[in-house]
Amino acid sequence: MVKQDRAIRTRQTILLAAAKVFEERGYQAATISEILAAAGVTKGALYFHFPSKEHLADGVLHEQDHRLPIPDRACKVQQLVDTVVLHAYRLQTDPMVRAGVRLSLDQQAQGLDRSGPFLHWSTVGVELLEKAQAQGELLPHVVPAETADALVGAFAGVQAMSQALCNYQDLPRRVSALLRHLLPSVVVPSVLAAVDLTENRGAAVQTELETAHPLRPAPVS
């Protein structure tokens, strides 16, 4: 058990180092030697967990996909909003999430399948929108797959714009504006009126999660 804990911790250390190196250098330019130096583990340990640079990148992409616990809400539109604003909050504060998003937008990452995060988030969006639809929260014409794709694509660009203009300083404001522009064409007005789309929602959800699970370790995939 202790041994397994150590292996999990080593894996996390390596992934975090890989995330930082990928973020700084880009996928193509990053080398395993740099990741090794940043992680401070043995070559054997690194290759045991990740046999290649592509495996390291897949690991980082998978972490940013799956390390966001989604708080359960009675109103599924609010749950969708919370998922989006929490992701934005983590982008500002968590290098692993940031590196994963950058990798998925890195058009020079040859040989790396970057479709994973787009498809993963679309699936998350479709599931929540279908639940919202079943509860009567959506306007009658809404096609969940189309709306999820529009939201995921739009979010990817809004975060890239915020990064290019001010290194994520204004990300909560931009994400709030995006949601205020997209949701009126998707959500029933009476539901929308009760949904919290304000800029500080992401930080509030993060605080709520930390309070509920004060010792929660980083999820291991």
Q: How far is the CB of 11 from its own copies (least distance, A)?
A: 25
103 vs 115: CA distance, rounded Å:
10
Residue type at 89 in one-letter notation = Y
Q: Are the CB atoms for 129 and 144 separated by under 8 Å?
A: yes
In whole angstroms, the minimum distance from the beta carbon of 8 to its own copies comes to 30
Least distance (Å) from its own copies to the CB of residue 153? 4
**CA-CA distances (angstroms) from residue 72 to 76, 88, 152, 198, 205?**
8, 18, 20, 19, 11
Least gap, CB of 159 to its own copies (angstroms): 8
DSSP β-bridge partners for residue 138: 187
Residue 6, judged by CB atoms within 10 A of its CB (0-12, 13-18, 19+), counts as exposed
What is the crossing angle of helices 95-104 and 2-29, to 10°?
40
Task: Summarize as ranges the residues that interact with its own copies (CB under 8 A).
Answer: 25-26, 28-29, 102, 104-108, 114-115, 118-119, 146-147, 149-150, 152-165, 174, 177-178, 180-186
Q: How far apart are CA 25 and CA 37, in angstroms?
A: 14
Are 20 and 96 in contact, with CB atoms under 8 Å apart? no
Name which of 200 and 207 has its Cβ closer to its own copies: 200
CB nearer to its own copies: pick between 123 and 163: 163
Residue with tokens 């058990």, as numbered in its chain: 1
**3-state class (DSSP) for residue 138:** strand
Nearer residue to its own copies within complex by CB, 12 or 147: 147
Which C-beta is closer to its own copies: that of 3 or that of 141?
141
Give the residue with the Cβ less far from its own copies, 149 or 218.
149
- Least distance (Å) between residue 170 CB and its own copies: 9
* Separation of alpha carbons 9 and 41, rounded Å: 11
Nearer to its own copies, 26 or 95 (CB): 26
User: Please, what is the minimum distance in Å from the beta carbon of residue 94 to its own copies?
Assistant: 16
